[in-house]
Structure 1
Amino acid sequence: MAGYLVSDSRKVTTHRFIEMKQKGEKISMLTSYDFTTAGIVDRAGIDGILIGDSASNVMAGNHTTLPMTVDQMIYHARSVVRAVNRALVVCDMPFGSYQVNAAEGVSNAIRIMKESGCDALKLEGGAEIADTVKRILDAGIPVMAHLGLTPQSINKFGTYAVRAKEQEEADKLMSDAKLLSEIGCFAVTLEKVPAKLAAEVTKEISVPTIGIGAGNGTDGQILVIADMLGMTNGFSPRFLRRYADLNTVMTDAIGNYVSDVKSGDFPNESESY
């Protein structure tokens, strides 16, 4: 079986992402950071899995994505790759791993690919990192671009508010998207930008756009798994749709376990050797 609502069991590749755009088929993506979750996500029929540096928030409890290291991203990516048979697996390059210079960016990119086994990498930024992106592409490594709200630059922006609402920034985003697609990026993530702008970018470039808080005019969508499954509390941006309430489900299940242990009901005779 290829997965829920998916009949095509072939491995999803960067080329297939572009084919899906050309056919008008929407692309589904979610984040995953561990073997067990990634296996479930893959079997459910997702097209792409991102090992996001959002692991810094979701898995480690940090306030920003900045503390993530290359070693930590490799650990999470390796765990995810082991579980996945179909989905395209993309790994974020963490803050500091490609901003210093192109040579260091290429070196870290090669290391992540070799040690994790993932299919592609994602980098935040536009024209200012184009040389590094091109060098990574020249090394044979597929790159997904990331524009709009770029969490690794949170200290520069000072806010997680919607980006590119003003014309100057919107023009730069469009220019960056065209540049990154032209030099060879296979897709562009658009985070928290006006829906109209995201739709315009999608029409203007030949590679797929993956939106998060960018409206329905993009070629695909991505959400953080812990948010869409309702594991997190207190984070409810407009773009987030919760498909489950696992926080309540897990709390109830653990509470019942505690009660059964305290009462002596667990384990019972049939659960003992």
Structure 2
Amino acid sequence: MSVHAAPRKRVTLGALAAKKDAGEPIVMVTAYDHPGAQIVEAAGVDVVLVGDSGAMTVLGYDSTVPVTVDEMLMLTKAVRRGLTAPLLVGDLPFGSYEASDGQAIATAQRFIKEADCDLVKIERGGTSVERARALVAAGIPVVGHVGLTPQTATALGGYRAQGRTAEAARAVIDDALALQDAGCSLLVVEAVPSEVTQALVPLLDIPVIGIGAGPDADGQVLVFHDLLGLYDGGAAKFVKRYAHLRTDAVAGVAAYAEEVRSGVYPAPEHSYSMPAEEAAQLREMTAAR
């Protein structure tokens, strides 16, 4: 597999719209730190999401709910420092935008000003539609998110597919249309039957990014740690492992530990030395003490 060695042109929302019109799939992936950002940059992805999934994959929380704005900003700033070409999306965490339009704008402005995000993402339809409208009116590009929305998974009955009846699917589609009408630039659709995505995509002018939403979305997104096999947690049905880096990492650290304990590491080639006359002088100095 080749990677992009030469700098690419910076991705724009117009470029994503052109991809949708041309039927060219959009590639989105999450990242949470500077090395991860450099990896996805080199791989040539179109969009990078600093998702609140980092609460679990990086920060060790049991869900996305506890992560704070300051924690998300720390992760997002680190990712920004590793990116050049892809669009950067910052995920507004639970409790940072739902209370009012003013709260949503204030939080989103921090992501734009402090972390240099290109867009921010919010979850759900309902009142989030009005939050999206207020953000867009304030000049902040927005990514909507429908279907399974992890921040409110408990209210949805847990981490399970949504829209599995015609009535429930219509509710997902209605939320998506409302978010587009509010001015969202992109839409993430998570964990819905493929038939829902097939019905939804032709109704929307904005690109639809699927995660567990079948092959008919305009693009796909996966969590960095899931696709690379780094996260030691349960994987959803839609996750495909493209590498098994956790296994390799554990083996590497175990080999290092064994060599330290056996005295193999560090070897002479891993050590610095002094000129012989300086070493002799040092021995004399220490012997005299």
Q: TM-score, normalised by structure 1?
A: 0.95
Q: What is the Cα-based RMSD across aligned positions, in Å?
A: 1.5
What aligned pairs does 1:88-127 form with structure 2 within 5 A after superposition? 88-127=87-126
Structure 2 unaligned runs (5+)?
Answer: 273-289
CA distance in 2, matches of 1:198, 1:6: 35
What is the CA-CA distance between 1:116 and the residue it aligns to? Answer: 0.7
Deviations 1:107-154 (A, max 9, x none): 111112111111110100113221111110111111010000000002
Cα 1:19–1:190 change in 2 (3 A) is same
CA distance in 2, matches of 1:37, 1:221: 18
What aligned pairs does 1:41-52 form with structure 2 within 5 A after superposition? 41-52=40-51
Residue 22 (str. 1) matches residue 35 (str. 2): no
CA distance in 2, matches of 1:252, 1:89: 33
Q: TM-score, normalised by structure 2?
A: 0.90
CA distance in 1, matches of 2:198, 2:92: 26
Q: Give the match's secondary structure for 1:124.
A: coil
CA distance in 2, matches of 1:203, 1:18: 14
What is the CA-CA distance between 1:64 and the residue it aligns to? Answer: 0.9
Question: Residues 147 and 177 of structure 1 are in contact (CA less than 8 Å); yes or no, is this contact kept in structure 2?
Answer: yes
Amino acid at match of 2:199: E
Structure 1 stretch 4-13 or stretch 75-84: which is displaced more?
4-13
Question: Residues 18 and 186 of structure 1 are in contact (CA less than 8 Å); yes or no, is this contact kept in structure 2?
Answer: no
Aligned to 1:35: 34
Cα 1:26–1:117 change in 2 (3 A) is same
Aligned to 1:161: 160
What is the CA-CA distance between 1:233 and the residue it aligns to? Answer: 3.4
What is the CA-CA distance between 1:6 and the residue it aligns to? Answer: 9.2
Aligned to 1:239: 238
Question: Residues 30 and 222 of structure 2 are in contact (CA less than 8 Å); yes or no, is this contact kept in structure 1?
Answer: yes
CA distance in 1, matches of 2:10, 2:246: 32
Q: Identity of paired residues, percent?
A: 36
Amino acid at match of 2:109: I
Aligned to 1:183: 182
Question: Residues 26 and 220 of structure 1 are in contact (CA less than 8 Å); yes or no, is this contact kept in structure 2?
Answer: yes
Question: Residues 14 and 142 of structure 1 are in contact (CA less than 8 Å); yes or no, is this contact kept in structure 2?
Answer: no
CA distance in 1, matches of 2:173, 2:6: 35
Number of equivalent positions: 271
Residue 230 (str. 1) matches residue 229 (str. 2): yes
Deviations 1:8-28 (A, max 9, x none): 811112222111101111011
Aligned to 1:219: 218
Structure 1 unaligned runs (5+)?
Answer: none
CA distance in 1, matches of 2:114, 2:5: 30
Q: Give the match's secondary structure for 1:161.
A: coil
CA distance in 1, matches of 2:7, 2:116: 22
Residue 199 (str. 1) matches residue 198 (str. 2): yes
CA distance in 1, matches of 2:167, 2:101: 27
CA distance in 2, matches of 1:158, 1:127: 18
What is the CA-CA distance between 1:176 and the residue it aligns to? Answer: 1.4
CA distance in 2, matches of 1:244, 1:135: 41
Q: Give the match's secondary structure for 2:88.
A: strand
Cα 1:139–1:150 change in 2 (3 A) is same
Structure 1 stretch 144-153 or stretch 161-170: which is displaced more?
161-170
Deviations 1:54-104 (A, max 9, x none): 011101111110001111111110000000011111010000111101111
